[in-house]
Structure 1
Amino acid sequence: MSHPHQESTRGPLFDPVFGADDMAPEVSDRAWIGALLEVEAAITAGAVGIGRATEADAAAVAVAAAELARDLDPAELGALAAAGGNPVIPLVKLLRDRADAPATAVHVGATSQDIMDTALVLLARRAGRRILDHLAAAAAAAADLARAHRATPMIARTLGQQALPTTFGALAAGWLTGLDDARIELDRALSALPVQYGGAAGTLAAVAPDGMYFADDLADRLGLARATIPWHTVRTPMTRLATALGVAAGAVSKPATDVVLMAMTEIGEVSEESPGGSSAMPHKRNPVAAIAARAAARRVPGLVATVLSSADHEFARAAGAWHAEWEAVTDLLRLTGGAAHRLSVCLGGLHVHVDALDRNLGLTGGAVLAEKVVSALSRHVDDARAIVTDAAVSGTPLDADPRITAHLSADELAELLDPTRYLGHAADLVDRALARHGGL
């Protein structure tokens, strides 16, 4: 039954590119099979407490489940699953055939969706913790950048155009805050993921009068949240998870996009520690980690939409909407984790080129500080705004326009055009973001 070459990942060619290679073991077909069997073994173990199985049955099922988790070929199970529409149906048969226990001691009172949903919750919990680690690493790198460049002046850009002075630290603090927000939301969604156990129609009839106790015991055994009631067709646990993963991907995309743009040859304000080359152009130094993070994250919103649009499960069991979640959520975990991983690599080795920040800050000859000059000049002339606007539009440096220098001295203009004197609360905002980060 064992086929090691089929135990790797959903995409061994591209997973390393998109940072998902370390996520692969958590969301592979092999991991899915292991989680399904873990749930089945826990059900039999719990059944001992309500007199539906013996300790010997539980031990036998646990051994058989471990053997199948190790040996079962995912391709074989997949082929068998097609007839019934999910892999639990043939897996239960294989487990009953393999285990030295009565058939009634396996899959006690459960329906296929109980096993599939709980297995997906287990996968999400485990993969999600790894995603949280990657988000934490990216946030730590952003915090280091914010701290190191708290007062490093740079130009802020709005709508793609130079706006006012800010600091690189303030930009990095924005990255940090988004990543911290995403970590909080994802951690909350992961912690709330509940067990699923309701039986054929969600009434736990097959294990009554012990059903409520049995479902809670199963949650405790698997380390999951207890479910208020079975959520077979109330998919808030899945939609909450998918949304949190979407938020995390967005928080990753923001700094990745900034890095890609700031690393452009014409801007040159940052570069990655290990940039990628080109197969055709020897001079290229591509910010490949940021690019890969952005690429992986871009695939996430569509999957989030799939999960959200599949929340209308009819009656007590959905025909198709439930099935659509399995791969969508698995891929969400893989891609969000990969994006966060690649961003942590990007930010962890990011080089900030202060000379380029200074060069670009002075690119307009002081025009970005025209607001201050207008205010000072208006004390001398009535048409200050028109004079300064005309100089800025024509590209004349504000400290060289005779209509301005006739009224404002060189020293006064130097002070007015000093970007470090118009940073507002940039440094204070960095401090606030760092303080919050340190308290998480």
Structure 2
Amino acid sequence: MARLFGTDGVRGRANDVITAELALSLSAAAARVLGAGASGRRAKAVVGRDPRASGEFLSAAVVAGLASAGVDVYDAGMVPTPAVAYLTADAGADFGVMLSASHNAMPDNGIKFFAAGGHKLPDETEDAIQAAMGESWQRPTGADVGRVHQMTDGATRYLSHLLKALPNRLDGLKIVVDAAHGAASEVSPEVFRLAGADVVTIGARPDGLNINDGYGSTHLDRLQVAVLAQDADFGIAHDGDADRCLAVDGEGNEVDGDQLMAILAVALKEQSQLVDNTLVATVMSNLGMLNAMHDLGINVVQAGVGDRYVLEEMRAHGYSLGGEQSGHVIMLEHGTTGDGVLTGLMVAARVAATGKSLTELASVMTRMPQVMINVKNVDKDSLDGHPEVRRELDLVTAELGSSGRVLLRKSGTEPVVRVMVEADTAERAQSVCEGLVKVVERELAL
């Protein structure tokens, strides 16, 4: 059987790949694996979801699967993914479950698990859950079945946690919040208001069908227009489950995850809170960020793509800050996973504390021109070690030298190969990238 879990949980087309039957079986298996440590007591799980229409029946199936396996379920309703991670730890739950396909379009959905303490699962635990799906098991009956409770204060508890993490108030700032019609549509604007900011909201009217539809971190054009029209200091954009954050400065320019991490790394270094003067990024981070951090005496450790791998590196060495160019940023003192609302708050706090604009703060690094093309309809599993692709990659890498870099990787969530090139000019990056794409298409054609 092919591996069910991808880079971030189990994801696919809802009611096609991600069915109620799958959700029921997967959650019952997860209950047996993740709840095994609850010796002598009933295991406890927190469940949340984003506003997708399919999340209504899928969360019902997950809750049913967990309770049928003897787990007491605390249903937090519509909350961001990082809220489920936080609540799992705060409530002393044995594990948590989030129903979301993150930045994917509405027809998709996904199931993510958090271990006790709110941490994402290692590969071996995911494999154990998948294996348990095919095993026979003794179902509890009578008083031993799980009970289902509504965690009506989940969003409020998460909001209170965010406010406690904030180092200073945001009075005097005007901020546009784009919630992607997603899980943070209520929480994010509210916490910025409570922190003192003047908040303008867009993309915050979820109806179950419009999540990520023209709004959010993958569609920044509306946020750019709103920031300029409202004469705002800056804007922030979440994705559907709000585990990521991108920004738009007061001049309408995009500020990506690398820039946000650079801003926060500099702030933490100044406050002697950047452990070992180290930032954990991924292989996708822009070379301009790596160069800027080097010049500022900040080490950068690069992990695999996916905030779970960033977190693994952070936990292994006790690092305090890490994240991805896509906007997943982890501040380990305050959270165990990428948190787009927390990231936005911390960047806003830096703007307020320094009196500098986001434009000025983001100028700590200069992004090198970067081009990425997703190559579809190819055999992505043949990418590693393919001789012709490897030969072309070595030639291009040697040609670019220190003036750029190349990365080829297969997506963990989609059937594509990603070709990424950075170079000293946009034209050169585009030309090199297109040349590599042709080689991948030819050599890995299905």
| TM-score with structure 1 setting the length | 0.23
| TM-score with structure 2 setting the length | 0.23
More strand by share: 2
- Say which one has the larger Rg: 1
More helix by share: 1
